[in-house]
Amino acid sequence: MISDKARFKAAKKLEKIVGYRVPGFAFKGQFLEAVCASLDYQRLDRRLKQQLMNFMKAFLNCKCKTNPLCGCAERKFASEILELRISGMNHRQISEFLLDEYGLSVFPADILSYLEESVHVLEAVKDVSLIEGKNDLAELSAGTILSIEG
Ligand SMILES: [Zn+2]
């Protein structure tokens, strides 16, 4: 999953502030819990706090009982990347955006291969939909493929 590739760049800094181990990978349970716990810290600088707040708002805003460990964060992150691509950003711009907005570092090459995988999945969906006569779904998949491929 693409969320497995996302590192929180300021993890070491956050670790010093909160006083316990913070894993570098942003979608690990321990990290998600650390984020939820650390938002109250006065010692976070403005930028770090803003990035953590953006992260919470974008990925951790579900109402599941097991939040933040319910899996929604990973799914939302994956769809955020697709949405950014569809809005016209290339994989390098997406990588820059994620770093700026959420403090997340993801290699452009990883984003590119994720986008390619998504296209393959959509192509399979399109083929199956056509076989099953679900033309709306087939059209939707075809349209999404086009917007991802740009
Ligand atoms: Zn959830």
User: Do the beta carbons of residue 60 and residue 67 sit within 8 Å?
Assistant: yes
Reported pTM: 0.90
Residue 67 has pLDDT above 80, yes or no: yes
Q: Give me ligand 1 centre to Cα 33, in Å.
A: 14
Whether 27 contacts 104, CB under 8 Å: no
DSSP state of 147: H
Centre of ligand 1 to C-alpha 133, Å, is 33
- pLDDT tens-digit readout, 92-129: 999 999 999 999 999 999 999 999 999 999 999 999 99
Angle at 76 between CA 75 and CA 81, to 5 degrees: 100
What per-residue confidence (pLDDT) applies to 42?
77
Task: Output the CA 62–ligand 1 centroid distance in Å.
Answer: 5
pLDDT the model gives residue 147: 92
pLDDT of 73 > 80? The answer is yes
Query: How does DSSP classify residue 76?
Result: H
Q: How many angstroms separate the alpha carbon of residue 79 from the centre of ligand 1?
A: 14
Q: From CA 145, how far away is CA 150, in angstroms rounded?
A: 8
Ligand 1 centroid to Cα of residue 64, in Å, is: 4
CA of 39 to the centre of ligand 1 (A): 19
